[in-house]
Amino acid sequence: MEIYTKKGDKGFTSTVEGEKVSKTDILLEVQGKVDEVNANIGHLRSIIKEDLQVEEKSKIDEDLKKIQYKLYKIGTDISSRFKYKNIKEEDVEFLENKIDFFQSKSGKLQNFIYYSGSRSATYTHVVRSLTRTAERTFARLVEDIETPYDYKFVNRLSDFMYALARYIKYLKGEKDEIVK
């Protein structure tokens, strides 16, 4: 597979279905935002491997890798204009179950908190904020269609990242810093 094809040199590209679209199309903007989240999850995985010294880190890494794969599949779904439906309800439920687990360990949130703590916890909040940006962009793409599970997955993913950041702090023995 070639890295460059020169086909996009005039500001157009093709979808997975072969449709020619402008690189300024909302479709490609959403794909790019999802790709940005995916790349930053890869960065987060490397930070967690260095920063977290608990046995749970391999399970967290496994979950993040699974999420990266789902984001890759979301990119395919977006490119097909949701002809492909790779994301299912159980994928959203996977995130919800993880959020519930993280919260059971770190405790229910009672106040607004600063996004602080270890490198891995704070970078998880960076990924969370990038995911929220992707979600807002994605909302523009799906506002006139039945909401696909892909969008619900991205929406839930930002909540997952918030809960994961607090769980990482719990694992490291760090307390939430309350906004007063």
Q: What pLDDT, in 10s, does the model give residues 152-179?
A: 999 999 999 999 999 999 999 999 999 9
pLDDT in tens, 130-139: 999 999 999 9
The band of 12, judged by pLDDT with boundaries at 50, 70 and 90, is confident
3-state secondary structure the chain: CCCCCCCCCCCEEECCCCCEEECCCHHHHHHHHHHHHHHHHHHHHHHHHHHCCCCCHHHHHHHHHHHHHHHHHHHHHHHCCCCCCCCCHHHHHHHHHHHHHHHHHHCCCCCCECCCCCHHHHHHHHHHHHHHHHHHHHHHHHCCCCCCHHHHHHHHHHHHHHHHHHHHHHHCCCCCCECC
- Compute CA 43 distance to the chain's CA centroid, rounded to the nearest angstrom: 12
Task: Tell me: pLDDT of 1 over 80.
Answer: no
Q: Please write the tens of the pLDDT for every residue from 45-59.
A: 999 999 988 889 999
pLDDT at 43 over 90: yes
Contact between residue 8 and residue 20 where contact means Cβ atoms under 8 Å apart: no
State in words which class domain 18-171 has. mainly alpha
Residue 7: Cβ-neighbour burial (10 angstroms; 0-12, 13-18, 19+): exposed
Average pLDDT, the chain: 94
